[in-house]
Amino acid sequence: MTIAPPIKREMHVVHSRGDKVFRGIVTAGAMTSLIILGLIGAFLFGRGAQVFSQYGLKFITGTNWSASTEPGIANEFGMGPMLVGTIIVSIIALTFTVPMSIAGALFIEFYAQPRVKKILTALLDLAAAIPSLIFGLWGIQVFTNIGQRWASLLGNRLGFIPIFNTISDNYGRSPFVAGCVLASLIVPITTSVAREVYSRTPRELIDTCYALGGTKWGAIKTVVLPFGKSGVVGGAMLGLGRALGETVAVYLVLNLNFRYTFKILESEGGNVASLIATRFGEASTEELTALIAAGFVLFLMTLGVNMIASAIVTRTTRT
């Protein structure tokens, strides 16, 4: 006797008026954010399209930025060294940020006393919301001397390595010090994201490690760190996106120099944001257009970093 399969039932969800209103508000907010982001990109591209059509790829790779107000003298704009400087300073900042953020997040979540944990969590969330201008000025005052001593030590001990080789002793205005300042700026937000992800580690998995005779560090190494990889990557990329657009710290530390250099202890460098801040006040009409085009390149770079971070976090979470 053959038994007929059960009839597939269709599920119908009835939304209340409040659900519909809330969904409409949330959808409108999300669409508004995307529309504003698109308008910003369209404005920057529209104002800088003339520069891209005139200079082409040379605007991205060129090493000369000269603007003249005198008739008969041609202008030339190339932002290649500033792009390289942006990447170098950001990598230096992440080199310091990631280990400190992981250590800080693990200490707050698993080693600090409950009362201390509550206070540190509140302070960390507060520090993550402080404007970058405040952190930049504070970092310059604090890390200029400290970073200068570290840079001097690296130059004396590791000078045989090309990136640490330098003929200048003005370490206080080097990409290394600028990276230290940026690290102080992005550590709070990276640590905050990592701590939040670590706090969501399934407690039963940690208790299982303890039940099998494991130590706290063993549970952290085998359960917490693999579970929180996506949080660390996401927080680091979020901090990188913030570091790419940082202006004040790099503007006050580095001397702009349109020359490709990978020596992090030289007293020269710069990034795209500091270029815009330095030249914007006295820019001519043509140079202003070039600065807007540079802003569009920085916009695309930051957007690309965030998209890559989202893809990495999604892939890590699925794994």
- The CATH number of whichever domain residue 213 belongs to comes to 1.10.3720.10
Contact criterion met (CB below 8 Å) for 93 and 243: yes
Dihedral through CA 197, CA 143, CA 253, CA 281, nearest 10? 70
Q: Is 288 among the domain residues?
A: no
pLDDT given at position 35: 92
Place of tokens 């979020």: 238
Q: Is 60 among the domain residues?
A: no
Q: Is 29 among the domain residues?
A: no
Q: What does the alpha-carbon distance between residue 204 and residue 209 come to, in Å, rounded to a whole number?
A: 9
Q: Could you list the residue range(s) of the whole structural domain that residue 155 is in? A: 81-274+296-318
- pLDDT tens-place values along the chain, 319 residues long: 567 777 777 777 777 888 888 888 999 988 998 899 899 999 989 888 888 888 888 888 888 888 766 666 677 888 888 888 888 888 888 888 889 988 998 999 888 888 998 998 888 888 877 777 777 777 777 777 777 788 888 878 887 888 888 777 777 778 888 888 888 888 888 888 888 888 888 888 888 888 888 888 888 888 888 888 877 887 788 778 777 777 777 777 777 778 887 888 887 777 888 888 888 878 788 888 888 998 899 888 888 887 877 776 666 656 5
pLDDT given at position 1: 58
Q: What does the alpha-carbon distance between residue 42 and residue 35 come to, in Å, rounded to a whole number?
A: 10
The pTM score is 0.82
Closest by CA position to 254, among listed 272, 268, 274: 268
Q: Is 19 among the domain residues?
A: no
Query: Token pair of 91, please?
Result: 């990598």
Q: What does the alpha-carbon distance between residue 60 and residue 35 come to, in Å, rounded to a whole number?
A: 27
pLDDT given at position 262: 82
Q: Is 7 among the domain residues?
A: no
The pairing of beta strand 76-77 with beta strand 65-66: antiparallel
Angle, alpha carbons 227-232-247 (nearest 5°): 170
pLDDT given at position 233: 80
Q: Is 66 among the domain residues?
A: no
pLDDT given at position 31: 92
Alpha helices by DSSP H, the chain: 17-55, 58-61, 80-106, 114-128, 132-157, 175-198, 203-211, 216-219, 225-227, 229-244, 248-253, 272-279, 285-318
Q: Is 153 among the domain residues?
A: yes
Q: What does the alpha-carbon distance between residue 182 and residue 243 come to, in Å, rounded to a whole number?
A: 6
pLDDT given at position 197: 84
Number of domains into which the chain is organized: 1
Q: Is 44 among the domain residues?
A: no
Closest by CA position to 235, among listed 271, 197, 279, 273: 197
Dihedral through CA 300, CA 302, CA 307, CA 309, nearest 10? 160
Contact criterion met (CB below 8 Å) for 265 and 154: yes
